[in-house]
Structure 1
C-alpha cells in the first residue's frame, strides 16, 4: 500500500465526471495507440452495446447479458467498460443506462473485481444534474451525455443558440458540475469518489425484482413498475420515435403542452386559483379544487383517499373550527425566499386565525415585533443569521436547526443578487 510503483503513475485524471466529446474520444482511443503500446495495454477498454432485440430477449435477460459481458471483459484485463446506447436502431430497444449501470456495478462488486475497472456511460438519457448524479451514485465513473451535445449543436446550427460549439459545451459542463456539487453538498459529501456507488437514493414505484437486479440495497417502500412495464414503455416510445413522416412530439415534460405531460400547475388550474383569490368567489374556488382533486395521478397523495366511517361522529364530539385552527402552522419560508409583503401577509393571516406563522431562518424586521405581523414561530439556523435576543423573546416557538442554514448566496438557495438592503440588514450581512 505504501510502496510507489510505476503502476501508480498509470492514471487518467479527470477534472469532472461529465466528459467532453474530446476527452471521451481520447479515452476511447487509448487502447489503440500503436506508437505507445505500453500505454495501450494498460488502458484496455471494452464497449458494451445497451441495445437489444425484443424479439429474441426480454429486458431481464438483456441486462444479464450485459453483466456477463462486463464481467468477462474485466476478468480478461479490460480496465475501462463503456456502456453505450448510441447505436439504437429501428427494431431494437435500449436497456436504460441507469439500470445497466447499477446492474453491472453490483455484478462486479459481487465478483470482487469492481476496483479493477472503471465504468463510463455513453448515454442519451442523461441531460441534467439529477441524471448524472444517479448514474454516478449507482456506480458510473464518468458520463458522456452525447445527446446533450448533439442537441447543443443543433441549437447552434439553427441559430437558436449563439456561440462557439466548444464554448457552449463548456458552459453546459459548468452547469452540470455546479448541479452535481449542489447535490453532493446537500448530502454532506465533498468528493465525487465518495458519492460514486453510494446509492443515496430512495426508489418510488419500482418493483422488487427491478430493485434486486439493478439497484440492490436501495430502499423502496412503495413498489410498482416491473421489468415488463419498463419494456412496454420502451416499446411505446420506440413506436413513436420511428414513425414515418411525423415530427417527434415534444412531450411537455419541462414546458406545458396541451395533451402532453400533465403539469400540476397548468394554465387552467392557475387561472382558476387566481380568479378565486382575486374575486373572493367560493364557487370558483370549488371549481379549482375539483380540477385538483380529479387530476391524473401526479403525486403520491393522488393515490390516497379518505376512508369514511360507516357512522359519522356526533357533531358535539368534533373540535370546533376556532379550536382546530390553533393546531395549524404555516411553512417556514424566510424573507428573501418570500417578498416582505407575502411574508407579512402570511403572519397577519395566521395570527388572525389563531394559528402560527413561521419566520423562516433569515431573521425578522424588529418593526414587526408586538404587532399582528410578527411570526409566532421563529427559526434559528446553524449560522444564526438575524438571531438577536429581541428576535428570540418575541417568539412563542423556537425551531433550532442543526448543521444547516441559509446564508446570502448559498445554503438556503438565496442568490446574492436578491440580498437587498433590507435582507442584508436583518441578516447582518452585506447587500449583493
Structure 2
C-alpha cells in the first residue's frame, strides 16, 4: 500500500484541489472511469440523505452477484449498487479497489447507515472494505463505495447474503386469489376472482371457483321411506304375525309359503299353526309394537305369498310387500278414483277393436259415478278392492270393472266384457321420501 496524506473517511470534505483524478499509483493500471460528474463539495450527510448527483447508482445486485472492472474517477464522489433484502438476512459485502484505498457504506432505503467500513490505519489491506450486517427490516438497500482520497481506481463488488426466511410466492402454493401468510411474517396477496367465481368457492382455499351443485338425494325407495317413517331400518326379524288363537309368531321366516300355493289370498298361515293370521305387527328391537296392520293388509300379504310361491313374482316379493304394507299410506277415495281414471284410459288398446267404442262409453259412465261419489270401494272376494256391482251395459254389452288394490301391491284394473276377455294392467305407486 502506498503512503497517502491523512484520510478523510467522511464523504463531506472536498478533495484537494491539486489532486490529479487520472493518475494512479505506481504499479496500478488505469481503470475505466465511471460516466458522469458532479461537484466535489458534498458533505457526508449527502450519503445519508444524498442529493440527486452525489451518488451514481450502477444497477441492482442479488445475493451471490459480483461486479468487476468498475471504473472510478472521483466524479461523482461515490458509486452504488442496490439490492432487495429482508429483515434478518445476513449480508456480507466485499468492496475491493485495484490499488487504492476502499471505503464503503451500507444504507437502508431511508439513507440511514446500517454499517460502514471507513477505517484505514488498523487494516492490513486498505484496498478492501468489508461490510457485514443483519438487515433490520425489509426494503431496498444500497452499497455505497468510493476511493478514500478520491483517486482514480477500479473496483470489484461482491454481495453475499443468507436469507433468514424465503417468502412464499402465490405460484409456489398454487394460490390464485385472496391473501395468505408468506411464511416470513408478511401477507401475500394473490389477486381476485372473476364473477361468478369466488375465492375458495370450489372448496379449495385461495383458488377461484364456484361451489359444486349439491349431490342429488339418494333415490326414494320403499325401504328408505319405511326408515324415515319409523326411525329404524327394515329387518325381517322385526315383523310378527298374530294368529286367530292369539299366538305371536316373530320373524318373516315363520310364514308358511307352501300353504299359500293353492290358497285364496285372505288365508295366510304360519309354520306349525293351523290358525290364520289376523294381524301383522312391526316390532322394535326390544319387541315393542311400533305399528300394526290388519284386514286388507293381511289379504295383500296373502296375495304376495301366492304370487311368489307359484313363481309369478321374484323371490323377495313377500319381503318387499311387507315393507310396503307399513310404508305405504292407505289410499284415499280421490287417489283410488284417479288410479281408475288413468288405468281405464291407458287400457283402451287392450280391448278388442270391435268393443273399444263401447268400452270408452262404459268407462266414462263409471268415472262419472266415481266423480259424483255414487260408488264406494269395497274389499272384493277372491282378488281385490272393487265396486259393488260395478258393471256398465253399453249396446247390450256388460262391461264389469274391478280395481285391484291389495295393500303393499300396485293398483291394477280388472276388466271383463261378459265372460269373453279379462285384463289386469297396473300402475306403479311411488314411495314418498323426505
The question of a shared fold, defined as TM-score above 0.5 by the shorter chain, is answered with: no
Q: Which has the higher contact order (CA 8 A, sep 6+)?
A: 2
Which structure: greater strand fraction? 2
- State the structure with more CA Rg: 2
TM-score range, shorter chain: under 0.3
Question: If the length of structure 1 is used for normalisation, what is the TM-score?
Answer: 0.17
Which structure: greater helix fraction? 1
